[in-house]
Amino acid sequence: MMADRSRRAQQRWRGAAVAALMLGAFSIASCTPPVSTGAFRSTGQIETKLKRGVSTKTDVLSLLGVPNGPGSWLLPALDPSPREIWYYEDMAMSGSTLRMQMIFVFFKGNLYDGYLWTSGAGALETKF
């Protein structure tokens, strides 16, 4: 009789401990702040605000901000001199969802010459 009671009490304590652990783990997981490099700005306005061969780097800076990096590219058949390219990145992780986007802005001299935007937003999810 006494042994039964003691076993039940032990089981109750074990159950409570497991529940407390699970609650703690859930709290920590739900409190993890999202990590982000900062979302892109004004991307919806690229088509309307930037005009190929007309807009300048200052216009691109005003719209998209300071890029994450500059570089140059060369297609000898198109142009014998290298052209400048700006690179923007946006990465964010919230829970099991990852957002990753990149924009490449092309220039011809000081003038805007086009862009390339690739996005994995909504497509990348960690599966457990």
Partner 1 sequence: MTLILDPCTDRTGTKDRDLAKEATEAFRTALSKIKDFVVAADGRYRLTCEVTDYQEGSAFTRWLLPGRGQTVGKISAIVTDAKTGETQTIIVGEARVRSGGFYTIGAYSYIMSSAVDEVVKKLDAWAHGEVSAAPTLRPFEHRGRTSEDAG
Chain residues in the site for partner 1 (CB under 8 A) = 38, 41, 56-58, 61-62, 65-74, 76, 82, 84-86, 109-110
Report the nearest approach of partner 1 to the CB of residue 71 (Å).
4
d(CA 95, CA 124): 12
Shorter beta-carbon distance to partner 1: residue 82 or 120: 82
Shorter beta-carbon distance to partner 1: residue 88 or 99: 88
Token duo for residue 68: 């994450």
Shorter beta-carbon distance to partner 1: residue 19 or 79: 79
Report the nearest approach of partner 1 to the CB of residue 18 (Å).
27
Q: Which residues contact 106 (CB under 8 A, 6 or more apart)?
A: 73, 83, 84, 85, 112, 113, 114, 115, 116
d(CA 96, CA 119): 17
Shorter beta-carbon distance to partner 1: residue 15 or 34: 34
Containing H/E element for 7? helix 2-31
Report the nearest approach of partner 1 to the CB of residue 94 (Å).
17
